[in-house]
Amino acid sequence: MEPRKRNQTRASIPFRAVVAGFAGIAVVLMALAWPAPARAITEIDITRGNVEPLPIAVSDLAGRSEVERNLGADIAEVVAADLERSGLFRPIDRRAFQQKPEDMQVMPRFVDWRQINAQALVTGNLTSQPDDQIKAEFRLWDVFAEKHMVGMALSTPRENWRRVAHLIADAIYRRLTGEKGYFDTRIVYIAETGPADKRIKRLAIMDQDGANHRFLTDGQHLVLTPRFSPTLQEITYLSYFDNKPRVYIYNIDTGKQEVLGDFPGMTFAPRFSPDGNKVIMSLATDGNSDIYVMDLRTREARRLTHHPAIETGPSYSPDESEIIFESDRSGRQQIYIMNADGGDVRRISFGEGRYATPVWSPRGDWIAFTKSLKGTFYIGVIRPDGSGERLVAKGFLTEGPTWAPNGRVIMFFRETRGSDGGGRVRLFSVDFTGMNEREVITPTDASDPAWSPLIP
Amino acid sequence: MRQAAIISAFGHLLLVAVGYFGIPALREEPLLSERVIIVEMVAITEERNLPQTVIDDTEPEEPKTAEQPPPPPPEPPEPEPEVVTLPEPEPELAAEPEPEPVETVSLPKEVKRPRGKPKPKPKPDPFADVLKSVEELEKKRQTREPDDDAKTTPPDIDPIEQALAQANTPFSDSIPLSMSEIDNIRYQIQRNWSLPAGARDAQNMVVTLRIQLNPDGTVTGVSVLNESRMRSDPFFRAMAESTVRAVLKTDRIKNLSPEKYDLWRDMRINFDPREMFS
pLDDT, one tens digit per residue, over A86-101 is 888 999 998 989 888 8
Q: Which residues of chain A have pLDDT under 70?
A: 1-40, 232, 418-422
What's the rounded Cα separation, in Å, for the pair A402 and A190?
A: 13
Q: Partners of B116 in the beta sheet? A: none
- CA separation for the pair A387, A231 (Å, rounded): 30
Give the least confident one: A10-19, B72-81, B91-100. B91-100
Contact criterion met (CB below 8 Å) for B186 and B54: no
The minimal CB distance from B186 to the residues A44, A50, A378 is found for A44
Q: How does DSSP classify residue A291?
A: E
| Stated pTM of the model | 0.70
Q: How far apart are CA B222 and CA B249, in angstroms?
A: 12
- Strand order across the A334-339 sheet: A311-316, A322-327, A334-339, A346-347
User: Using alpha carbons only, what angle is made at residue B6 by residues B1 and B11, rounded to the nearest 5 degrees?
Assistant: 125
Mean pLDDT value of segment B156-169:
54
**Residue B59 in contact with partner chain A when CB distance is under 8 A:** no
Annotated domain spans of chain B: 49-59+126-278
CA pair distance A161, A134, nearest whole angstrom: 8
- Cβ–Cβ below 8 Å for A439 and B111: no
- Return residue ranges of chain A for CATH 3.40.50.10070: 54-177
3-class DSSP state of A165: helix
The C-alpha of A146 sits at a distance from chain B's nearest C-alpha, in angstroms, of 10
Domain(s) of CATH 2.120.10.30: residues in chain A: 186-451
Q: A54-177 — its CATH code?
A: 3.40.50.10070
* The pLDDT value given to residue A32: 55
| Shortest Cα–Cα distance, B165 to chain A (Å) | 22
What's the confidence (pLDDT) of residue A83?
93
CB-CB under 8 Å, B98 with A439: no
Name the residue type at position A232.
L
* pLDDT for the residue B69: 44
The CATH H-level (homologous superfamily) assignment of domain A186-451 is TolB, C-terminal domain (2.120.10.30)
Mean pLDDT across B165-174: 51
| Lowest-pLDDT choice from A433-442, B139-148, B185-194, B256-265 | B139-148
Mean pLDDT score across all residues of chain B:
63
Query: For position B165, what pLDDT does the model report?
Result: 53
What is the distance between the alpha carbons of residues A91 and A54, in angstroms, rounded to a whole number? 8
Measured between CA atoms, the residue of chain B closest to residue A436 is: B99
Whether the CB-CB separation of A291 and A314 falls below 8 Å is answered with: yes
Is A176 in contact with B238 (Cβ distance < 8 A)? yes
Q: Which of B65, B80, B119, B133 to mutate to probe the A interface, most A CBs <10 Å?
A: B133
Q: Using a CB-CB distance cutoff of 8 angstroms, which residues of chain B are in contact with residue A324? A: none
CA distance A45 to A205: 49
Rg (CA), chain A: 31
For range B193-211, the mean pLDDT: 76
